[in-house]
Every structure is written in C-alpha cells, then in structure tokens.
Amino acid sequence: MKIKTLRELFEVELRYAYDCGQKLINKGLPSMIQSADSSELRSALEYHLGETRGQSARLERIFTAIGAEPKTNDNDILDEIMKAAKNSTAHIEDSSLRDAALIVNGNQVEHYEIATYGSLVSLAKQLGLRDAVAPLEQTLAEEKAADAKLTQLAETSANVRAAQHAD
C-alpha cells in the first residue's frame, strides 16, 4: 500500500502501535515476567502489562473515533527487538545478570514506543484529531514512566546485584 496522505501515515503508524501492544500483551511482557528473578522487576513488568492492556483499549477507541478499523500492521521493528531480547536472555544463566539484561531489553522496547507515540501525538495534532491527542499523550506519558522505572530499577538494584556476581 502506498501512503499518499498524512492521514494514511497516521493510520498506518497507529496500526503498528496496536500490533506492538498486542504482541507485548500476548507474548513479550508475560515472557519477561516469567524470566525475571527480582520481585521488584516482576512487579514493574506486571504493572506495565496492565497499562499496556489499557493502551490497547485506548487505541481501539481512537480507531473508532477516526472511523478506521482497529487492526494491526505487522510490526517488524518490534519483532526484531523481541527476537534480540529473547536471544540475549536465553544465554544468561545467572538470574541477577538476566534481570539486568531484561531491563536493557525493556528499555529498548520503551524507547521504540516513546518514539512511536510521540510521533502519533504530533500527527494527530497536525491532523486536528482532537479525540486522539489526549489518549495518545496519556500513553506516551505511561511509556516514559515505564522507561524511567526500568532505569531506576537498573541503577538501584539489578545492575548492582549483577555486578556483585561478576567473576
């Protein structure tokens, strides 16, 4: 499909964001939660899984508000990030080091989502899609907070524990 208008670009990117959320809900975050050793990290990931479910519902409301079908476009970027994350943690036996790697991988996903939602907010504003702006801004704020929480966990506990177990 050739994209010819800003509105079409917005809808395509919205579908990528929706796909990202669906993949994180159905596989990415549950897998990370299962792999996490730290109760703090598991709790943060479980909290963000709940947020991600809410974000997905918000996206569905945005699709309805703009008269578009809520469907996904396969998000190859997220697929590659998740594949790299799985590969990195699969080769780590030490649970402290695995938690540190999970945080690195989580931050990578959050940064991608921050870029995506920041762009969607900008596009929605330009297009005058007022019903989309506030929900997208809310999701952007949640993604920034999740990124900050992961960074805080890395700096105050996960990286410290991983360093203590280094040879």
Show the tokens assigned to 9: 């670009």
**Predicted local distance difference test score (pLDDT) of residue 51:** 98
Over residues 81-117, the pLDDT tens digits come to: 988 888 888 889 999 999 999 999 999 999 999 999 9
Q: What percent of the chain has pLDDT over 90?
A: 84
Over residues 58-87, the pLDDT tens digits come to: 999 999 999 999 888 888 898 999 888 888
Question: For 18-35, what is the mean pLDDT?
Answer: 95
pTM of the entire structure? 0.94
**Predicted local distance difference test score (pLDDT) of residue 73:** 86
Burial class (CB in 10 A: 0-12, 13-18, 19+), 35: buried
pLDDT value at 29 more than 80: yes
CATH architecture of 6-164: Up-down Bundle (1.20)
Confidence of residue 167 (pLDDT cuts 50, 70, 90): low
